[in-house]
């Protein structure tokens, strides 16, 4: 494989990645390449840089493999959901098509990236049932239902990534990648919430018709042992909006498990 040719052929994406790559990679790995071509190199280079930091796939600490496979499960669900949404004949309003195309693009990229980092240790994609056993029977024929399930995945994803961050402290380069995914999921969540007529941020633990488990604990008002209400004279609602809360792996799997085909 001629790496340079591939780099030359790929489209320019984002020069910012280069700085990050330089951080996670061995010094000088990219010295002969321009920032733009590095940025264009898609998951392949990212994966090679990460594996160079941790050795081959099997060199990843086992806790990191667990977190990445957990993340991959969520990304599989999201990518499969949006891929089906794009190909199922679902009528998406014209003004929302670019939005969903962008989200779909990101989720597919996240799957590619995580699979490339995990290598042979990546789990296979399970079969999903996005009706959740019949709870959302018209998920791919009714745009309102589709949007609701989209919100469920995005808000859950934000909380799930956040809940695993601490488990990646022994792998700072991978922690950073997880954080770089996490904020993208939050952007998706805010947009889909607005599309559904809600604020982009989560007030209290309001579930807005979605399973309450997705928003359980979002109404916490103390952080680092400090009761935040009263510090600023702001309302309880505003305090809960200002902090997104974590979901544990078990809490997340209980939510996502409803979408696994039985």
Partner 1 sequence: MEKLNLVSESPSRADGLGRRSFLRYAGGVAVIGSVLASCSAPDEIVSKTPTNDLSKYAGGRISNGITVNLGSGELGILNYAYALEQLEAAYYEMVMRFPYEGMSAMERQIFSDLRAHEQIHRDFFKAALGSAAIPGLTPDFSGINFRQRSVVIDVARQFEDTGVSAYNGAGKFLQTEAYLITAGKIVSVEARHAAVLSELQFPNGNAFAGDTPIDGNGLERSRNPGAVLAIVAPFIQETLTSGLMA
Q: Coil, helix or strand for 108?
A: helix
> Binding residue for partner 1 (CB under 8 A) from 132, 158, 214, 247?
158
> What is the total residue count of the chain?
262
Largest CA distance in the chain: 61
- Shorter beta-carbon distance to partner 1: residue 28 or 233: 233
Residue 223 bridge partners (DSSP): 226
Nearest to 24 by CA among 153, 213, 240, 171: 171
To partner 1, the closest distance from the beta carbon of 259 in angstroms equals: 21
Stretch that binds partner 1, among 13-21, 25-33, 209-217, 249-257 (CB under 8 A): 13-21
Q: Verify binding: residue 95, partner 1, rule CB under 8 A.
A: yes
Q: Other C-beta atoms within 10 Å of 228: how many?
A: 18
Q: Which two tokens stand for residue 52?
A: 């160079």
- The interface mask with partner 1, positions 23-42, x = CB under 8 A, is ----------------xx-x
DSSP class of residue 103 equals H
- The interface mask with partner 1, positions 196-215, x = CB under 8 A, is ---xxx--------------
Q: Please give the C-alpha separations between residue 162 and each of 64, 127, 155, 221, in angstroms, as whole numbers.
A: 14, 25, 11, 17
Q: Which residues bind partner 1 (CB under 8 A)?
A: 11, 13-14, 16-17, 20, 39-40, 42-43, 46, 95-96, 98-99, 101-103, 105-110, 112-113, 158, 161-162, 165-166, 169, 172-173, 175-177, 179-191, 194, 199-201, 223-224, 226, 228, 231-232, 234-235, 238-239, 241-246
């Amino acid at each position: 494989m001629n790496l340079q040719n591939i780099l030359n052929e790929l489209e320019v994406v984002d020069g910012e990645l280069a700085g990050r790559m330089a951080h996670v990679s061995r010094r000088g790995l990219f010295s002969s390449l321009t920032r733009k071509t590095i940025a264009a190199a898609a998951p392949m280079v990212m994966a090679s840089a990460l594996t160079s930091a941790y050795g081959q796939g099997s060199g990843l600490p086992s806790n990191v493999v667990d977190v990445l496979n957990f993340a991959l499960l969520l990304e599989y669900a999201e990518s499969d959901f949006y891929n089906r949404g794009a190909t199922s004949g679902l009528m998406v309003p014209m003004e929302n098509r670019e939005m969903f195309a962008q989200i779909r693009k990101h989720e597919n990229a996240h799957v590619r990236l995580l699979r490339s980092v995990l290598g042979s240790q990546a789990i296979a994609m399970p079969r999903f049932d996005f009706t959740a056993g019949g709870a959302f029977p018209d998920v791919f024929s009714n745009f309102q239902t589709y949007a609701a399930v989209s919100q469920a995945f995005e808000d859950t994803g934000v909380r799930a990534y956040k809940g695993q961050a601490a488990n990646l402290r022994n792998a700072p380069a991978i922690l950073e990648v997880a954080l770089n995914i996490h904020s993208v999921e939050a952007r998706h969540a805010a947009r889909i919430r607005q599309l559904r007529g809600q604020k982009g941020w989560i007030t209290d633990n309001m579930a807005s018709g979605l399973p309450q488990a997705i928003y359980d604990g979002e109404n916490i008002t103390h952080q680092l042992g400090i009761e935040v209400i009263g510090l600023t004279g702001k309302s309880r609602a505003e305090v809960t909006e200002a902090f997104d809360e974590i979901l544990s792996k078990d809490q997340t799997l209980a939510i996502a498990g409803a979408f696994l085909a039985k």
